[in-house]
Chain A
Amino acid sequence: MENQIQVPTVAELVAKGESPDILFWVGCAGSFDERAQRITRDICKILQHVGIKFAILGTEESCTGDPAKRAGNEFLFQMQAMMNIQVLDGYEIKKIVTACPHCFNTIKNEYPELGGNYEVIHHTQLIQSLIEQGKLKPADGHTFKGKRITYHDPCYLGRANEVYEAPRKALEVLDADLVELKRCKSNGLCCGAGGAQMFKEPEAGKKDINIERIEDVIEAKASVVAAACPFCMTMLQDGVKIKEKEKEIQVLDIAEITVKANDL
């Protein structure tokens, strides 16, 4: 049974003469991909639970342009970027949280030169700070206690922006059996989806990248692999499926783990 969540759009708040403290940038995957939508709703639950005044752009949000840029279409990227900047600046947005490391990287690093300057955080960083403030606390007897959990670093959060600690801090409060993958942090192995690979078939080779990665997870004997990116989520889940390990290995986003552990 899901709690009812209230998700206002910025336009609705502005119509009431209000403005959000933080904009939740949902991203295309978080908006349309069914698996990622569950993560999106969990992030809203967290925001609502701790009483942060947030809003989404709703139908005014558009792709950041990341896959276009990484596929080599700089025109389309900059078109998307400038249209998004117009919308964000129109609402005088100052602070953004997003669940997608690709959106996070693009808005944080590539928008400023095009005129869009915002404070951008990833949802794992938000969760880390809420834990530190004591606003999030795992419930007694939550399901992750003692479970063997590992974490897969998304390239665009880890190497690209050197956010390695925040997601790990969110797992450390669980009192679980945390284990690192053999390739982790700055040496982490890509899930195979970045650089617009998500939208095409891989080139010929001897293996798919997500299989190579899920073998690391199997080797670590983890029963939960935590993700922090909707694309990694898809790739890891496909890997688990192909390896027929669905019963043994769960792929969960840090936000989902937090919501479950906090019993929200």
Chain B
Amino acid sequence: MIGQLIFTVLFLAAGFFFYRNSAKIYRNIRLGKTLNRFDNPSERLKTMLLVAFGQKKMFKRPIPALLHLCVYIGFCIINIEMLEIVIDGIFGTHRALSFMGGFYNFLIYSFEILALLVLLSCVIFLIRRNILKLKRLNQPELNNWPKTDANIILITEILLMAAFLLMNGADQKLQLLGHPHYTTVGAFPISTALLPLLPSSLDGLIFIERFCWWFHILGVLAFLNYLPLSKHLHIILAFPNTYFTKLEPKGKFENMPAVTEEVKAMLDPSLPPPSGEVSRFGVKDATDLTWKNLLDAYTCTECGRCTSSCPANITGKLLSPRKIMMDTRDRIEEIGKNIDANKSLVDDGKSLLDNYISREEIWACTSCNACVEQCPVNINPLEIIMGLRQYAVMEESKAPTSINVMLGNMENNGAPWKYAQADRANWANQ
């Protein structure tokens, strides 16, 4: 009875704290500029099903894709088990769903197989990160917290799966010993192997079974509350993020409507001057980005496929698209905390450009879209880079000298080089 009470309180508390932290993230994303990504729902749904649900883009790299698929399917399916755990926890029942009989046995059987696959995949992931030291998983932007974050996630998943299997093993042994509370039910292809390792005393077995049950469920609830603080949030946000993907060709960059109004007025003086006040051209701080850019930042799980395909990064430049996303998230989090502390945003003298992302980084981009193409959850670092360039050029007139020369040429003679417009067709006469 006390157990049920404790469980219910912890379950509700975990739900409440998760809701509170999620609401903050939602608020932070809404700090971004408006953008219409609500059109064409059927196309959007299709993209989400293919890319997030179907893991389509992961398979550009087959080995990590297969390992990730194991963890992904395992995570989704084993969560069905959570339903039973919650029912058992609240009502004090044991294996409440076992009335399903043969189908229940099939479920437990597949959970065990999946649990083992998840466990093994996570061990291989740990090895790739920490022993093989794959370049993509060991670049400078991952130093300190991001590396720890990744290891915490993997170790937690290993522990959760181990507890699940150990719980089943103890349960199975109790069934074999004929304990009345542990009715014979379930199919245990993996945990059977653990039987010789388990004690034969009923008390010892019950302790292990209960301990693992509590460890598993408390671990899951703790993990749920770890998500909003971690890069692991992608397991939820991958779905909305792919749904809200830009559906137009990757080469199409947004035309700024405020500029269109001004240019139209300049070319045709009979038009009324633009009415709307534009607070800022381009992106200086995270709040100048669109909500989709911010959703991108919260969705990023720092896998680094973008960075490892970025021509600038491959050739040793400072630019890393992954870092652009991590910086954006760090900055909007900082702004969110600032708002929490002061009720509204108080100028902290910082900005995304310069305090987080340097000029050297933004000017190294070739706008080749490799990062956008590679991202398994359709994040777009390029839009952020271009926004920062727009601020540097249009608000500050601060571009590399040779870029200014190019822009000057275009203004004066309609070509990026210093050739006269009148000579444009000379090639035809040579």
Q: Which residues of A are in contact with B by a Cβ distance under 8 Å?
A: 5, 7, 9, 26, 28, 30-32, 37, 40-41, 44, 56, 58-59, 61-63, 65, 67-76, 78-80, 82-83, 86, 105, 109-110, 113-114, 155-156, 159-162, 186-190, 192-209, 211-213
**Interchain CB contact under 8 A, A204 and B410:** no
**Interchain CB contact under 8 A, B403 and A196:** yes
Q: Which residues of B are in contact with A by a Cβ distance under 8 Å?
A: 60, 248-253, 255-256, 259-260, 262-264, 266-267, 281-282, 309, 311-312, 314-319, 360, 363-370, 372-374, 386, 389-394, 399-400, 402-403, 405-407, 410-411, 414-417, 419, 421-425, 427-428, 430
A264 CB to nearest chain B CB (Å): 17
Interface CB pairs A-B, < 8 A, 26: A26-B425, A41-B428, A59-B424, A63-B414, A67-B406, A67-B416, A71-B407, A73-B390, A73-B407, A74-B255, A75-B259, A75-B394, A78-B255, A80-B410, A82-B263, A82-B267, A105-B251, A194-B366, A194-B368, A196-B367, A196-B403, A198-B416, A200-B402, A200-B406, A201-B400, A205-B316
**Interchain CB contact under 8 A, A212 and B311:** yes
A110 CA / B430 CA spacing, docked (Å): 33
**Interchain CB contact under 8 A, A203 and B317:** yes
**Interchain CB contact under 8 A, B316 and A207:** yes
Q: A32-B415, A156-B251, A205-B315 are in contact. Are A195 and B405 (CB under 8 A)?
A: no
A5 CA / B429 CA spacing, docked (Å): 9
Cβ-defined partner of B410 (8 Å) among A63, A105, A207, A208:
A63
Most A-side CB within 10 Å, residue of B370, B410, B414: B410
A21 CA / B260 CA spacing, docked (Å): 30
Cβ-defined partner of B315 (8 Å) among A31, A186, A199, A212:
A212
**Interchain CB contact under 8 A, A70 and B367:** yes
Cβ-defined partner of A58 (8 Å) among B363, B394, B425:
B425
**Interchain CB contact under 8 A, B424 and A203:** no
Residues of A within 8 A of B367 (CB): 70, 155, 194-196
**Interchain CB contact under 8 A, B373 and A62:** no
**Interchain CB contact under 8 A, B369 and A113:** no
Residues of B within 8 A of A58 (CB): 424-425, 428
A190 CA / B427 CA spacing, docked (Å): 28
Q: A5-B428, A155-B369 are in contact. Are A67 and B255 (CB under 8 A)?
A: no
Cβ-defined partner of B407 (8 Å) among A76, A162, A197, A204:
A76
**Interchain CB contact under 8 A, A74 and B427:** no
**Interchain CB contact under 8 A, B369 and A159:** yes
